Structure 1
Amino acid sequence: MCFGTIQKTIYDSAAAKLPSSQDYRIARDEVAVELPVRVNWGGGWTDTPPHCNERGGAVLNAALKLNGIYPIQIRVKRLEQLHVEFASTDIGASGSVGTVEEIQDCHNPYDSFALHKAALIACGIIPLQGGNLEEICRRLGGGISLSTRVVGIPQGSGLGTSSILSGACVKGLFKFLGRETSEEEIYDIVLNMEQIMSTGGGWQDQVGGLSPGIKFITSMPGIDQKIKVEKVQLSEKMKKELQERFVLVYTGQRRLARNLLRDVVGGYLGGRPESIDALEKMQNLAVLMKFALERENLDAFMDLLNQHWELSKQLDAGSTNTCIEQIFMACEDMIDARFIAGAGGGGFLQMILKKGITKEMLKDRLHEIFQESGVDVWDSTFV
């Protein structure tokens, strides 16, 4: 009943704010958007309903390129035919729809195009109810093809890919329609989109990917989350050292996150003291991490990251497992800080190397111990 009430309240608020497409016209024949992924450092989970609605949220995260590219990619094209085509090329899915009802049916998480459909609704191109697709396309000046792609990243990575993909779709569709939009407006529409899809997630992922650099992101309590983004200003010396010592390691395991959100939020809803205590301290750590980075105190930042890792385990025992603990133990003497990406339980791990240790040295150690299991250092660059 709690989950149902939260979802309905936030969904109703989102639905009431959806824009109308009456004056929309296709302005460009084709638009492409590419975005980075994000790594979370402080305050994760505090951006998730209902915590953010009741107590506000505070998160510190950073945008990353992987293997030298922006891995979140979308393309919007104008079609001569008055219908809508969808593609999710990384999973080899494509199809076309000829009715608004097919697009309005976007609540099934197993639908390959749930995200694509929700983007058209959240941007106001397709109404939440009623309407005729052929008439809408005729007024726009053509049909729409929306294609998405996540390059080279396994599902369940913990790098915020699905929410950042939502952000890329919203950004691309507005460019396609020739609409000038602020970052704040895009954050808001992606939040609405997430509620339309009934995913129940928070706001840190899309902000992490849509806005470059290291960000301190906050919101005040309230149903309508007004997100404030503050760029963390690092000296060139600090940027260089962080880039040299920061490492992203894949565990070789996909995270099974189906009940994860429900478990963590359920602990908060049920008044579990450990959950409430962890979330309160996580917000404080996010503030202290920002301060440490701005003061060029990497040692303090690493200590805070280690504290956050302990709080993550307090919040959810499933954030770690035997594989994760073995990886951390295998390189204990090479690292000063450890953390998970996203909710943990698989996907990527984050480490900060000791001075004098190179990424190649860590890579060799992991290959020696874990061999062909998929455990490996990935090439990552802050953007």
Structure 2
Amino acid sequence: MEIVCERLEDLKDHCVPHAPGALLKAVCVCSGLVTYPSRQSLEEQLLQRWGGGVEIHTWSLLPHGSGLGTSSILAGAVLAAVYRCTGRTYDTDSLIHAVLHLEQMLTTGGGWQDQVGGLVGGVKVARSKACLPLRVEVERLTLSEDFLLSLQQHLLLVYTGKTRLARNLLQDTVRRWYSRVPSIVENAGQLVDNAEECALACTEGSLPRLGACLERYWGQKKVMAPGCEPAAVRIMMDALRPLALGQTLAGAGGGGFLYLLTRQPQQGEVVRQVLNNIQGLRDFSVHLVELDMDGISLLKSS
């Protein structure tokens, strides 16, 4: 799809999530590439500030509604590219907060977990204190090479063939939180505790302990967002349970990708065979995992 914005009015729908190019339009406004609304025309702004227009190309090989935080990670990458090409400096911390701002502007909600996961390298735990302005603090965990290798050999991504959008799930969850539903408030505290337990499991190099955290996390997600486990996904997870130390759906649940920590290493083909034997299950795929230890990097093309 090609979208050309020649008038400032063409950016009007930058806050409408399903509008064509909404994410990129929001990047243009959020990054300060252009100001909207403004008495200055789009042409005047671009010529005065940057000496001309900007052309942005983006692509993703992931299906929409994958649960892997694609929009947040893509937003971070595009913001970084726009900052670079307009001669401005940034760091990863500023990108994390810029994406948080962008997603509020885009009205998709969301938080900071996806861009932390995609923009910061290695295995990490991220925290934010209950205060404004919100500050996200990211701690990269120091893990042994043996554990990192073992993690890659035991961790698989399974595409369920079911996609979902998190927006409605998030809205319902936030409403229940604001209503101070006791089970939701208690569960939120347990989510935090489980994240810290997960970090300890990684630091100690314990795959069984990490698997238990994944299982606990999936139970907590189902409390937070009832209905996030489609029947087809439940059948898949039940069939894979004998092979798994732990498993959970990525993102807010409802479909997308399942991540699976297997009892034995290199179980990709075994997982495919199990899923092939489930009647009526189609469009699934199994993927190996490689940990990104570097985080976001920009390359200048010739």
TM-score, length-scaled by structure 1: 0.73
Q: Is the 8 A contact 2:23 2:75 kept in 1?
A: yes
Looking at structure 2, the residues matched to 110 and 357 of structure 1 have their Cα atoms a distance apart, in angstroms, of: 39
Structure 2, unmatched stretches of 5+, are: 293-302
2:65 match: 156
SS in structure 1 at match of 2:227: helix
Are positions 1:137 and 2:46 aligned together?
A: yes
2:13 match: 105
Looking at structure 2, the residues matched to 163 and 370 of structure 1 have their Cα atoms a distance apart, in angstroms, of: 35
2:22 match: 114
Structure richer in strand, relative to its length? 1
Are positions 1:280 and 2:186 aligned together?
A: no
SS in structure 2 at match of 1:185: helix
Are positions 1:227 and 2:100 aligned together?
A: no
Are positions 1:237 and 2:146 aligned together?
A: yes
Which residues of 2 match residues 117-196 of structure 1 at below 5 A? 117-130=25-38, 131-139=40-48, 140-151=50-61, 153-196=62-105
Which residues of 2 match residues 52-67 of structure 1 at below 5 A? none
1:45 match: none
Percent identity between matched residues is 32
Looking at structure 1, the residues matched to 112 and 151 of structure 2 have their Cα atoms a distance apart, in angstroms, of: 25
- Which amino acid is the alignment partner of residue 248 of structure 1? L
- Which amino acid is the alignment partner of residue 206 of structure 1? Q
Q: Is the 8 A contact 2:160 2:255 kept in 1?
A: yes
Deviations 1:262-298, CA, capped at 9 Å, x for gaps? 1111111111111111111000111111111111122
Paired residues in the alignment total: 290
Looking at structure 1, the residues matched to 183 and 41 of structure 2 have their Cα atoms a distance apart, in angstroms, of: 51
- Which amino acid is the alignment partner of residue 149 of structure 1? W
SS in structure 1 at match of 2:71: helix
TM-score, length-scaled by structure 2: 0.91
Looking at structure 2, the residues matched to 356 and 200 of structure 1 have their Cα atoms a distance apart, in angstroms, of: 37
> How far does residue 256 in structure 1 lie from its aligned partner after superposition?
4.2
Deviations 1:100-153, CA, capped at 9 Å, x for gaps? 2322431112212111111111111111321221112222121111121112x1
> How far does residue 350 in structure 1 lie from its aligned partner after superposition?
1.1
> How far does residue 376 in structure 1 lie from its aligned partner after superposition?
2.5
SS in structure 1 at match of 2:156: strand
Q: 1:376–1:259: structure 2 CA closer, same or farther, 3 Å change rule?
A: same
Looking at structure 2, the residues matched to 370 and 137 of structure 1 have their Cα atoms a distance apart, in angstroms, of: 56
Which residues of 2 match residues 1-383 of structure 1 at below 5 A? 93-130=1-38, 131-139=40-48, 140-151=50-61, 153-355=62-264, 358-370=267-279, 373-383=282-292
Looking at structure 2, the residues matched to 380 and 322 of structure 1 have their Cα atoms a distance apart, in angstroms, of: 26
SS in structure 2 at match of 1:94: coil
- Which amino acid is the alignment partner of residue 257 of structure 2? F
